[in-house]
Structure 1
Amino acid sequence: MRLRALLDTEALGLRLLGGEGELERSVRGVMTTDLRDPSRYLNGGELVLTGLAWRRGPADSEPFVRILVRSGVAALAAGEAELGEVPEDLVAACARHRLPLFAVNESVAFATVTEHVVRQVSGERAGDLAAVVDRHRRMMTSGPVGGGPDVVLDLLGSDLDLRAWVLSPTGRLVAGAKSAGPDLPAEVRTRLAAERLAAARAERPAPHRVTVGTTAYSLFPVHGGGRAPRAGRDVRETVLSDWLLAVEADAGDWPGERLDLLYGVTQLIAVERERRDAARTVRRRLAQEVLELVQSGAPPAEIAARLRVAAPVLLPGVGAAPHWQVVVARVEWADGARGEPGPAARRLLEEILVDPSPAGRARSGVPAGPDHGDRIAVAHSGEEAVALVPLPSVGGEHDGSGTDVQADTLLEAVREPLTAGLDGDGRITLGVSAAVHSAEGLRGALEEARHARRVAAARPGRVCAAGHQELASHVLLLPFVPDDVRRAFTARLLDPLRDYDRRHRAELIPTLEAFLDCDGSWTRCAARLHLHVNTLRYRVGRIEQLTGRDLARLEDKLDFFLALRMS
């Protein structure tokens, strides 16, 4: 271990008195002494602990420090219990000989410091490390009650004093030990994920060592199935999907036994990754079936039947049929990566959609109960991934709870690490449809999402997304826009009004047509419809409320005009 790690360990309460530039020195042992000449017991690289009983006067400090330096010790830690503070003559002697000096608070026992150092560096614990791995393996295979990455990380903390976290490729916190203290801040997780992806793309050997602020981390990849990529395999096939184990320590000087332990832990965590991946099989199959039906032009009744099967799986306990959104993603490499890109895009889209809201991405842990990712069904078709996202509905209407996937926030928290993973020669583009309430609208939603992705692909940048809001009415007039996109645009604007008219006989559609024909004149429109102006104002207000549009705005008037003409 390095001296800086000792200083960063709050439980030891060490205070640096000198040697700021020497904190990268390695510590290979620990010794407690009050002998005036302890050289016969020193082999070099030790942290020497002393209670200062050898010091009878200021003149004793210089020879004592000189002996330590000749013996090659890493640093000196002096207790404050005997004299109340570390004498200035000892501080000066250590400064002259560039020997790092720590003060040990009287409330901290030397045994505490010794035990911590021994746990970190002693080769005598090599046999214990194998036992730790075996305990981890039993925990991970003991079933859903006793297993999981959190248990493994707790054992790393209790057995080896290592704070560790499991992160997704986008920096999402997958697991963290309860004993690790405060969770990693979002900005630190993002930085670690970005560094890991960049190192993997450059094919630098693991563990990857990163310093954030003054804290050192070592990053170990968690490969799918626990196996490293095969020789000759393009790293781009998995770089955007592998998890990582982040350990708050510099593993540069670790012995082989400790590195083997951490690699063993990554293999155990990979087992959990595979379990979670297998749990998505049903959702993937449902999405694949729906996608194939939609693309083959199957009757809406057949698609609706399949959606009714998917709804209770993705939103258990929801009585009414949900609304749906479609998200399309594509991963492209400049020179064309080997392998089929669709599955890679599917895994990445599943990760991005775990919780697409900024508040959710900023959370420091996996939420209790099913997370947003348990509501996502992702299929792949050719080079693209297609996600079917259910939205809760009440009484057959979207509940407006703000759960819609928004293109402008979808990539907000993942852009930095994904850009590092693409490393200048790849792109990720996504398109998001509007919400649809029936099987009839699903084909249009798919085409709308695909067209939005093409809009995103036309923009600069490595990671881009576009939503249905950006398919402006003037774009819809272009001849290359598919008919399904036009129908989706029309349905999104007019279906709420048609549904309301069907239930309440409110004649909102005829009112809208007349209002536009009269160029927005309240008096002329009321006269044409034989209504009082206040009744007309009420109907127009209801139209604006149901659609979220403002009929005083030219853009919204134009959209309604086009929707009515295309209906």
Structure 2
Amino acid sequence: MLLAELLDTSHLGLRLRYAAPGALERAVGRAVTTDLLEPGDYLAGSELVFTELAWRRSPDDSETFVGSVAGCGVTTVVAGTALFGPAPDDLLAACRRHRVTLVEVPADVAFVDVTDHVTSVRAAESGNRLSAGLVRQRELLAAMASGRDVQEICGRVAREIGHDCRVLTPTGRAVVAGPTELSETALDAITHQYLTADLLPAVATVGETAYSVFPVGSGLGHRLTGWLLAVDGDHRAWPHEQVDAVGDLAAIVALERTRRDERHRAVRPIAADALTLVESAAPQGVAATRLHQAGLDPDTTLVAMVADAGPLPADTATALVEDVALGVGPAVVATDRDGLLIALLPDGPDLVGRTRSAFQRLAPGLGRDDRLAVGLSGPTDLAALAGALDEARFAVRAARAGGTPVTVVGSDDVTSHVLLLATVPDEVRRAYALRVLGAVVDNDARSGTDLVATLRVFLGCSCSWARTAEELHLHVNTVRYRIERIQELTGRDLSRLEDRVDVFLALTSLG
């Protein structure tokens, strides 16, 4: 039931005092009656709020009341006139400021007459929607059973509701692409909303464009490895029938997700065997055959990727790396003897950049202690693939020192000093770092100072006092004091190249 239809109900005699933009085409939510001055904490945001204005003691109270209901998403207030007469001008002004529609109920019409009418119409619509939903589900299931792919089914629902539908993963990979390609900014916003929203569906906004984000399946699984529906438009302004249609589509897509997951699980043992053959220097023809069976063309130019997913569960980590790899093309993904995830990928334009963007989209969904370190080799052929794996392992060791939740390092990113440090055992690098900077680290821990962070920026700014102060939003004298304190604690003079190199390598090893 739309608000315009409620206002057109002649026997209720409702009077529209102010209509917010788009309000008349918005579906009416459940009716709630309140005379609390600040009822926002008790509302979900889609209600039709009825009030007799008993809360109003002064004109300022209107701003408080309307601000409270608008703050939780309520878009329509229905004011009674039986007790205090027509809605005062200050209430009308507050509704205009907050873009909340204001409707008046005549003195001779009881609230219960309006709420009963809303309830009965909504109940009838709910029954109709249930019947229509069952028919739609049967039709979509029949379409899938007859061999229609998920792309066709998404297109069918998109035409029905008038909104483009896309199926994405949290890395931004398009399982079902829409008629136009999404920008990187839009992908970042949609995946971020999916991973961080308290409740789904939610809305991601990019400029003036809104995307409704729906979970695929029950939504009880790990969002990092889930699928999502990104539908053009804001679902909060849609008729219930359109929201129901997207829900039905999500259920069908979940079946396709299950089917694809089963295929990936079946290929994993073959992929593991192919990796073993590559690393054991097996005859090239044997390794090529196994790679082909795992779905990868062994004659194409390949890139090795090594990922360390830290404390993430093994199944989750594998699914994430497989998802990123599938965004590149047909790939082989397996776990090596050290528990690292290995992917053999077909080379392509800006492979490192695309891989970095995909992994970094996962960062909002990681736990506080979760880390993803990823290293990629340069392009090679099958004959040199074992060397490419060694190169990617060097890169992943450099990525571990990145100090961010997600770090992706390509072979071109591994500078000479990082490559040198990557060859040094972890315990040696750590001991060296603490020997040079241990006193500074202890001082930060004991006194709550930011000496390590200041040092990192200072060296990154080529030891420029002014640039460091600007970067940290500090006075230059504060920077000078902190650097002098670091020199005192370390016994190093940062104006000397040798001491500066010592501190730089220790800071890099510290991570």
Give TM-score, length-normalised by structure 2. 0.54
The aligned residue for residue 12 of structure 2 is none
The CA distance in 2 between the partners of 1:438 and 1:161, in whole Å, is: 48
| AA in 1 matched with 2:332 | A
1:82-481 equivalences in 2 (<5 Å): 122-123=125-126, 124-143=128-147, 146-148=148-150, 150-176=151-177, 182=180, 184-199=182-197, 204-222=198-216, 226-229=217-220, 238-251=222-235, 262-280=246-264, 284-294=268-278, 298-301=280-283, 304-311=285-292, 314=295, 321-332=299-310, 336-337=311-312, 340-341=313-314, 343-355=315-327, 372-373=328-329, 375-381=330-336, 383-391=339-347, 403=348, 406-412=351-357, 415=360, 417-422=361-366, 424-439=368-383, 441-472=384-415, 480=423
The CA distance in 2 between the partners of 1:461 and 1:434, in whole Å, is: 23
Q: 1:388 to 1:163 in 2, by over 3 A?
A: closer
The CA distance in 1 between the partners of 2:421 and 2:27, in whole Å, is: 69
Q: Secondary structure at the match of 1:426?
A: coil
The CA distance in 2 between the partners of 1:418 and 1:379, in whole Å, is: 20
Residue ranges of structure 2 left out of the alignment (5+ in a row) = 5-17, 30-46, 49-77, 82-94, 104-120, 426-511
The CA distance in 2 between the partners of 1:175 and 1:271, in whole Å, is: 14
Counterpart contact for 1:323–1:390, Cα < 8 Å: yes
Q: 1:344 to 1:70 in 2, by over 3 A?
A: closer
Give the number of the structure whose alpha-carbon radius of gyration is greater: 1
CA deviation string 1:468-501 (max 9, x = no partner): 234455666669459xxxxxxxxxxxxxxxxxxx
1:418-567 equivalences in 2 (<5 Å): 418-422=362-366, 424-439=368-383, 441-472=384-415, 480=423
Residue ranges of structure 1 left out of the alignment (5+ in a row) = 5-17, 30-43, 46-68, 73-93, 102-117, 230-234, 356-371, 392-402, 483-567
Counterpart contact for 1:432–1:453, Cα < 8 Å: yes
Give TM-score, length-normalised by structure 1. 0.49
The aligned residue for residue 28 of structure 1 is 28
| AA in 1 matched with 2:405 | R
Once the 2 structures are TM-superposed, how far is the Cα of residue 136 of structure 1 from its aligned partner? 1.1
CA deviation string 1:394-437 (max 9, x = no partner): xxxxxxxxx2774355313552x322122544222110123343
The CA distance in 1 between the partners of 2:371 and 2:143, in whole Å, is: 40
The CA distance in 1 between the partners of 2:174 and 2:3, in whole Å, is: 29
Q: 1:186 to 1:478 in 2, by over 3 A?
A: closer
Q: Secondary structure at the match of 2:388?
A: helix
The CA distance in 2 between the partners of 1:259 and 1:449, in whole Å, is: 46
The aligned residue for residue 486 of structure 1 is none
Q: 1:258 to 1:291 in 2, by over 3 A?
A: same
The CA distance in 2 between the partners of 1:167 and 1:176, in whole Å, is: 8
Q: 1:304 to 1:187 in 2, by over 3 A?
A: same
> RMSD across aligned C-alpha pairs, in angstroms?
4.5
Counterpart contact for 1:314–1:390, Cα < 8 Å: no
The CA distance in 2 between the partners of 1:243 and 1:477, in whole Å, is: 40
| AA in 1 matched with 2:227 | W
Q: 1:98 to 1:254 in 2, by over 3 A?
A: closer
Q: 1:267 to 1:380 in 2, by over 3 A?
A: farther
Counterpart contact for 1:311–1:390, Cα < 8 Å: no
Once the 2 structures are TM-superposed, how far is the Cα of residue 459 of structure 1 from its aligned partner? 1.2
Q: How many residues align?
A: 335
Q: 1:458 to 1:324 in 2, by over 3 A?
A: same
The CA distance in 1 between the partners of 2:162 and 2:193, in whole Å, is: 24
The aligned residue for residue 107 of structure 1 is none
